[in-house]
Amino acid sequence: MLDKKRLRIAIQKSGRLSKDSQEMLKACGLKINMREQRLIAHCENMPVDLLRVRDDDIPGLVMDGVVDLGIIGENVLEEESLLRAQTEDPAQFELLKRLDFGGCRLSLAVPEDFDYQGPESLRDLRIATSYPGILKAFMDKAGVPFSSCMLNGSVEVAPRAGLADAICDLVSTGATLEANGLKETEVIYKSKAVLIKAAGKFDEEKQALINKILTRVQGVQQARE
Ligand code: PRT
Ligand code: ZN
Query: Which residue out of 18, 79, 106, 170 has the highest number of ligand 1 atoms within 8 Å of its CB and is therefore the one to mutate?
Result: 170
Q: 166-171 and 104-111 as β-strands: parallel, antiparallel, unpaired?
A: antiparallel
Query: Which residue out of 172, 180, 195, 196 has the highest number of ligand 1 atoms within 8 Å of its CB and is therefore the one to mutate?
Result: 172
Contact 193, 97 (CB under 8 A): no
* φ/ψ of residue 45, rounded to 5: -110, 0
Strands of 93-98's sheet in order across: 40-42, 48-53, 7-12, 69-73, 193-198, 93-98
Q: Which ligand is nearest to the CA of 71?
A: 1
**ipTM of this predicted complex?**
0.99
Question: Hey, which residues does 72 pair with through a beta bridge?
Answer: 194
pLDDT of residue 91: 87
Region of residue 219 (phi > 0: left; psi between -120 and 50: alpha; otherwise: beta):
alpha
Helices (H) and strands (E) in the chain, counts: 6, 11
Q: Which ligand is nearest to the CA of 52?
A: 1
Angle at which helices 18-27 and 204-224 pack, to 10 degrees?
100
Q: Which residues line ligand 1 (CB under 6 A)?
A: 12, 15-17, 54-56, 73, 75-76, 102, 104, 169-176, 191
Q: pLDDT 10s digit of each residue in the chain, 225 long?
A: 778 899 999 999 999 999 999 999 999 999 998 776 789 999 999 999 999 999 999 999 999 999 999 999 999 999 999 999 999 988 899 999 999 999 999 999 999 999 999 999 999 999 999 999 999 999 999 999 999 999 999 999 999 999 999 999 999 999 999 999 999 999 999 999 999 999 999 999 999 999 999 999 999 999 999
State which ligand 1 atom lies nearest to the alpha carbon of 192.
20
State which ligand 1 atom lies nearest to the alpha carbon of 76.
18
- By CB atoms closer than 10 A (0-12, 13-18, 19+), residue 90 is exposed
- By CB atoms closer than 10 A (0-12, 13-18, 19+), residue 164 is buried
Q: Please tell me the distance between residue 27's alpha carbon and the centre of ligand 2 in angstroms.
A: 25
Query: Which residue out of 14, 54, 55 has the highest number of ligand 1 atoms within 8 Å of its CB and is therefore the one to mutate?
Result: 55
How far, in Å, are 38, 47, 64 from residue 70 at the CA level? 17, 16, 12
Q: Please tell me the distance between residue 131's alpha carbon and the centre of ligand 2 in angstroms.
A: 11
- By CB atoms closer than 10 A (0-12, 13-18, 19+), residue 173 is exposed
